[in-house]
Amino acid sequence: MHCTSYGPPEVLELREVDKPTPRAGDVVLRVHAATVTLGDCEVRAFKLADWIWLPARLAFGILKPRQPVLGMEIAGVIDSVGADVKRFKPGDRVFGSTGFSMGAYAEFARLPEAASLTAIPEGMSYAEAASIPTGGLNGLHFVRKCQLQPGETILINGAGGAIGMFAVQLAKAAGAQVVAVDKARKHAMLRSLGADHVIDYQAQDYWRGPGRYDAIIDIVGLGPFSQSVAVLNHGGRYVLGNPKTAQMLAAMMENRRKRIRAMFELAGDEVEDLDFLKHQIADGALRVVIDRSFSLEALPEAHRYVEDGDKTGACIIDVSGEAYARE
């Protein structure tokens, strides 16, 4: 599926291209599952935060994406390998992140052996595995940044998406009381993941209530900075998951006062963290929530659905028709 220019979902166009062949140090995956995240939609429409807009435009392409095949989360089977590849062999079930190299929205994808790829555990579907990288790595990173202690209270704004579903569970595992903020239609899912309290942001501003928090993770970046800081206890931690320039400047100023600590830093793509998350899921300590599945041909519809903000958990692209196969 090619992104022919920056713009609405209609710029995504299905095309027939040659199957990639592996170069030295590369692997070629037969893709079974990919995902659509809000980040994918932002790249397609090029609606990025102002502080990163210009460098990202230069990196991705001035008039249209330099890499026309988007998609950053991938799961499939190794189809072929190039010379000197040691980690993988044909037939291995793998998943991971393609990062800003993209390429997941295709039947086959070529990636470096050194990419953020790891084996899919026995019994895990391709759809579940593809849902891990963006949500899992960022959710894990944000919760770690909060350095939660048992009994502390954390508020997670935008808890009903792919990052939030992991952050809620990981915060509960750390012994925290979790307040989850999102649309009312997502509340049942959030409670099932362990949220102690839920807030419908369409009916109530979380910073106007009586609650005070030891940590806030603002995944969507829409919470007002000063009001959010005001409801943090002394020594509180404020993680900005999608910061704007004004929020970053305000965070640096707030840190000089040393009452709370404000942070903005996205996760990396460490394979060790992917391995930790997959084992937690395989052991039943974490759960993946999949909202809807779309075919590759229906990718524009999937992008539109995710942009509308109704996605609960992960949105799957079933590339091969076998995304839910477990072996």
pLDDT per position as a tens digit, 224-246: 999 999 999 999 999 999 888 88
Q: Do both 111 and 191 map to the same domain?
A: no
pLDDT (0 to 100) of residue 100: 84
Q: Do both 259 and 156 map to the same domain?
A: yes
Q: For 172, which DSSP code?
A: H
Q: In CATH, what number is assigned to the domain containing residue 256?
A: 3.40.50.720
Average pLDDT over residues 16-30: 96
pLDDT (0 to 100) of residue 21: 95
Q: Look at residue 327 and tell me if it is in a domain.
A: no
Q: Do both 149 and 205 map to the same domain?
A: yes
Average pLDDT over residues 164-173: 98
Q: Which domain holds residue 105?
A: 2-131+288-318
Res. 327: pLDDT tops 80: no
pLDDT (0 to 100) of residue 53: 83
Strands (E), 189-289: 197-200, 213-218, 232-240, 261-263
Q: Do both 169 and 211 map to the same domain?
A: yes
Hey, how many other C-beta atoms are within 10 angstroms of the C-beta on 236? 22
CB 288 within 8 A of CB 165: yes
Q: Can you tell me whether residue 306 is helix, strand or coil?
A: helix
pLDDT (0 to 100) of residue 80: 97
Q: What share of the chain has pLDDT > 70, as a percent?
A: 100
Average pLDDT over residues 285-298: 97
Q: Look at residue 250 and tell me if it is in a domain.
A: yes
**pLDDT-based confidence at 209, cuts 50/70/90?**
confident
**pLDDT-based confidence at 98, cuts 50/70/90?**
very high
Q: Do both 16 and 122 map to the same domain?
A: yes
pTM confidence score: 0.93
Tokens coding 287: 């759960």
pLDDT (0 to 100) of residue 162: 94
Q: In CATH, what number is assigned to the domain containing residue 306?
A: 3.90.180.10
For residues 299 and 37, give the distance between their C-alpha atoms in angstroms, rounded to a whole number.
12
Q: Do both 159 and 127 map to the same domain?
A: no
Q: Look at residue 324 and tell me if it is in a domain.
A: no
**pLDDT-based confidence at 55, cuts 50/70/90?**
confident
Q: Look at residue 280 and tell me if it is in a domain.
A: no
pLDDT (0 to 100) of residue 269: 86
Tally of structural domains, the chain: 2
**pLDDT-based confidence at 273, cuts 50/70/90?**
very high
